[in-house]
Amino acid sequence: MKLMENALTANRGRIDAVLAPNDGTAGGVIQALAQQKLAGKVPVTGQDAELAAAKRVLDGTQSMTIYKDTRELARTAIRVAEKLAHGVAAGAEARVPNGRRDVPSVLLPPTVVDKNNIDAVLVGSGYFKKEELYGGGPER
């Protein structure tokens, strides 16, 4: 939030868009934008499909979030760990550079979630219950 407040001051309130590294950061950005009456006017993205962020997407203050099904991530991590523990190749189909070398990686596809597909992706997958997403509560 503080970094966004500083950016708003330095740019005299002119910010075109914010690509936040996660939904928590996006929430702080949106708080700072709200103080300047810019929430919902400046596109803000995040990732992790947190409940509070999903509600901000519905409210129109966060443009989108990235959904990576943590249940599938956990299943895949366990599968890879079991293979490695038994001396079997993990099945890494990709390599991701880390600045020193290309690291063998198992990548799962992310899904962009916005107002158009939020029900299908987050409710339809069982990630959130409809009542959680559309109910009141402190996040809203």
Between 15-19, 91-95, 97-101, the lowest mean confidence (pLDDT) is in 91-95
Specify the DSSP element, H or E, that contains 28: helix 23-35
Q: What local confidence, expressed as pLDDT, does residue 140 receive?
A: 41
What distance in Å separates the CA atoms of residue 133 and residue 65, rounded to the nearest whole number?
14
pLDDT average, residue stretch 101-106: 95
φ, ψ of residue 104 to 5 degrees: the values are -60, 135
Which CATH code fits 2-68+110-134? 3.40.50.2300
For residue 57, the one-letter residue type is V
In whole numbers, what is the pLDDT of the chain averaged over residues? Answer: 95
pLDDT in tens, 10-28: 999 999 999 999 999 999 9
24-42 average pLDDT score: 97
What is d(CA 77, CA 75) in angstroms, rounded to the nearest whole number?
6
pLDDT tens-digit map of 53-72: 999 999 999 999 999 999 99
> Reduced to 3 states, what is the DSSP secondary structure of residue 131?
helix
Residues of the chain with CATH 3.40.50.2300: 2-68+110-134
